[in-house]
A and B are shown apart, each in its own frame.
Chain A
Amino acid sequence: MYRYDEFDERFVRERVAQFRDQVNRRLSGAITEDEFKPLRLKNGVYLQLHAYMLRIAIPYGTLSARQLRQLALIGEKFDRGYGHFTTRQNLQFNWPRLRDVPEILDLLADVEMHCIQTSGNCIRNVTADQFSGVAADEIEDPRPVAELIRQWSSAHPEFSYLPRKFKIAVTGAAHDRAAVKVHDIGLRIVRNTAGETGYEIIVGGGLGRTPMIGKVVRDFLPKGDLLAYLEALMRVYNAEGRRDNKYKARVKILVHEIGIEEFQARVEAEFAALDRTTINADREEVARIAAYFAAPPYEKRPAVSQTYQAARAANPAFAAWADVNVTPHKAPGYAALTISLKGIGAVPGDMTSEQMRAAAGLAERYSFGELRVTHAQNLVLPHVAQDDLFAVWKALGNARLAEANVGLITDIIACPGLDYCALATARSIPIAQALSQRFADPARQREIGPLGIKISGCINACGHHHVGNIGILGLEKRGEESYQITLGGDATENAALGDILGPGLTAAEVPDAIERLVEVYLGQRNTGEAFIDTVRRLGIAPFKAAFLQEIDHAAA
C-alpha cells in the first residue's frame, strides 16, 4: 500500500490545523455559515437530516487493517458505533458533532487518512477496481496511476473551483468492475498493437438527472503523457463547462452540447500547446509510487488447494458461499474474497465497529493486512490462501459477515436516502430491506443468478439506479414516497441505462413488481443466460407487460 512521505504527512496535518481554526472561527462568529459551508464541504463535512455527516476518503478503495481499526474506534468514540460504505468506496459517519471533527481528522491523519476533496466542486476521490493488483483478468494494477492522479489533483490550484464536482475511476482489467463509463473520466489500462500499455480515456459519463454513458476521447494515450493530457482535458472543462446552471455544469453536458469530436479537438489542441515535460510526472516519481503497490510476499502454493476442495465437498453451505463470494487470483493458490455487507434485511453498506475489528483481524491474519472497499458497498480480503478460505468463512460467520450473496439479487446497492440524507426525496434503505427479505431464500437466489438491483432515494443517483439491471428511484408524488422502476441498466464494460417500465409504485408494491420481473426472466431465459442477457435478447416488452399487469391488479 501507499505510505505517506514527509510532504503528504505535512499536507494532511496542515489541513487538519486549518480546519480546526476554521471551526473555531465559525463558532466565534468570525465567519458566517455561508463562508464556512464551502470550507467544511472541502473537508468532507455535510449537514444532513439529523446531524452532521463526515465522509472519509478511501483512495481507490484500498484500506489497511490498521486504518479499519481506527475507523472502528472513531465510530465508537465519536459516532454511534457504525459506519456506512458508499458507492464511491468511501466511508460515512452519520452522527459526528462539528466540535469533534478536528479531533476525528487528527485520528485519521494518524493512519494516513483524510476527508479532503470528498465533496465540493473539485476532483473527488479516485475510485478503482476492487480487485486491482489481484484480478486474473488484469493487464496491469491501476492503483499506481490512481495514486498519481490523487497526488496531482489534491489541492490542484487550477482545478479547485471547477464548474461542478469531478469523478474519476480507473481499471486495469478487461471486465469493468469500477463503472468507468459512468464517471466524468473513466480510465482503462489497455495494450496497443505494439504490445505497449497505455490508457484509453473515456469522458462525459455520469448518472444524476441527466444520465449518460461516457465516450472515448483518446483510444490510446502513452503512459508518460497522462498528467499533461488530464491537465489539457480539465482546462477545456474548467474554461468551457457551464457555470450558469448547476444542473448543466458537469463535463457530460459540455461533451453532449459540443459533441465528442469537437471536445476531442479542443483537448488535443490544448494538449499540443502544453509544455508536457513540466506537467508529466517524472519517471522516478512514478516508479517510487509504483513500488508501494508491489505484490505482497505470496508463498509458493499449488494452483489448486486440496484443503479447499475437501472443505467444499464436505460443507455445502461453504461451497455455496465460495461460489459467489470468492474470485480467482493472479497468484497460484490464492483467492480474493468478498465480504458481503448485505446480510438479509440489513442496511446495505453499514458495518458496526465490532464487525470492522473482526474484518481487520482477518485481514491481518489472512490477507497481508489489506482490505478493499467495492463500489457495490462490500469489503474484500484481496489475498487469501485457498487453504485458509474455510477458516475465514467460519470467522466471518461469527461476525455475521458470511452472507453468500455477492452479485446476487440481495446484494443490493442503496444510497442512504431519506433515512439520513438532506437531498433525498424518498427512502431507499427500507426498499432494499424489503427486497432482501423477499428474496432471502439462498437456493432461490442462486437459481436466479447474477442480478443487480440498485436503489437511489433521489434523482442525484448515488445508488446508481440508472445502471442497475433493475433500478429503483425514490421520488415524491402527491405527498407520498413513490418508486420508479427501470430495467436493463448495466454498469460494466457493456454499460447501458435502464428504461422506465411504467408509473411509480408505492413502497409496499415494489417487492411484488420485482418478483414479476424475475418470474418473466425465469420463464423465458435460455440455459445459463443471466438476467441482463435475457433482457437484452427479449427487450423490455415482456417485462413491461408483466409490470403493468401488476399495476392493473393493484389498481383494481
Chain B
Amino acid sequence: MSSAKLPPLPAILLANDLLDGDVVFRTATGWSRNPTEALIAQDTASATALEAEGRTAMAGNHVVDAYLVDVEISDAGIPVPRHFRERFRILGPSIRPDLGKQAEFPAIRDAAHD
C-alpha cells in the first residue's frame, strides 16, 4: 500500500498509546510521551520511514491512529505543530494548564508559546 501524501516538512509522528490513550511520539529509539523528544523528519525519506514505523506500531498493537504532523522548530530546537489543532493535542486542554503535557513537560509549553 502506498503511503498517503506527506505533510509539509519538517514533520514528527504522533499517535495514541493503545493501553493508556496518551499521546506518544516516535523518537530515534522508540516511543515517548514527551513531545520534546520527538524525532524530526527533515526530508521525504525520513518522513516516509517515520510513517512506516507508525504502521508497524499500529500493526503490533502498541499505538493507534499514528500520523505525521508538520512542525516548526523552536529556538530551543523543539518541534511545535504548525496547526492549532495539533498544538492543542501535544499541549493539553488550553483551559486547564494544570493538565496534560503542558503541565508535565514545561519545555513544550514554553516552545509553543514563543
Taking beta carbons and an 8 Å cutoff, which residues of A are in contact with B?
26-29, 33, 47, 49-52, 80, 94-99, 347, 418-420, 424-425, 427, 429-430, 433, 476, 479-481
Contact = CB atoms under 8 A, between A and B. Distances in A.
Interface of B: 16, 18-23, 58, 60-61, 64-65, 83-85, 88-89, 92-96, 99-100
Contact of B94 (A29, A33, A427): A427
Contacts of A99: 19-20
Q: Which of A28, A29, A98, A481 has the most CB of B within 10 A?
A: A98
Nearest to A416: B93
Given A26-B18, A50-B92, 7 more contacts: A29-B60, A33-B64, A95-B99, A97-B20, A98-B20, A419-B94, A420-B93
A98 B93 CA distance: 20
A546 to B, nearest CB: 29
B16 A47 contact: yes
A347 B95 CA distance: 8
Contacts of A424: 85
24 contacts: A27-B19, A29-B60, A33-B18, A33-B58, A49-B85, A50-B23, A50-B89, A50-B92, A50-B93, A51-B20, A80-B99, A94-B93, A96-B21, A97-B19, A97-B20, A98-B18, A98-B19, A418-B85, A419-B94, A429-B95, A476-B85, A479-B84, A480-B84, A481-B84
A26 B62 CA distance: 10
Contacts of B21: 47, 50-52, 95-98
A480 B89 CA distance: 15
A43 B10 CA distance: 38
A418 B88 contact: yes
B64 A433 contact: no
Contacts of B61: 26-29
A51 B84 CA distance: 18
A51 B22 contact: yes
A480 B82 CA distance: 11
B18 A27 contact: yes
B65 to A, nearest CB: 7
A292 B95 CA distance: 41
A433 B18 contact: no
Contacts of B58: 33
B89 A479 contact: no
A50 B65 CA distance: 12
A479 B64 contact: no
A419 B18 contact: no
A425 B85 CA distance: 8
Contacts of B19: 27, 97-99
A80 B95 CA distance: 14
A251 B84 CA distance: 35
Contacts of B93: 50, 94, 419-420, 429
Contact of B95 (A29, A430, A476, A479): A430
B112 to A, nearest CB: 15
Contacts of B100: 50
Nearest to A418: B88
A47 B65 contact: yes
A105 to B, nearest CB: 16
Contacts of A429: 93, 95
A481 B89 CA distance: 15
A419 B20 contact: no
Q: Which of B18, B21, B65, B88 has the most CB of A within 10 A?
A: B21
Nearest to B89: A49
A343 to B, nearest CB: 13
A429 B95 CA distance: 7
Contacts of A427: 88, 94-95
Contacts of B94: 419, 427, 430
Nearest to A479: B83
B95 A433 contact: yes
A97 B33 CA distance: 14
Contacts of A47: 16, 21, 64-65
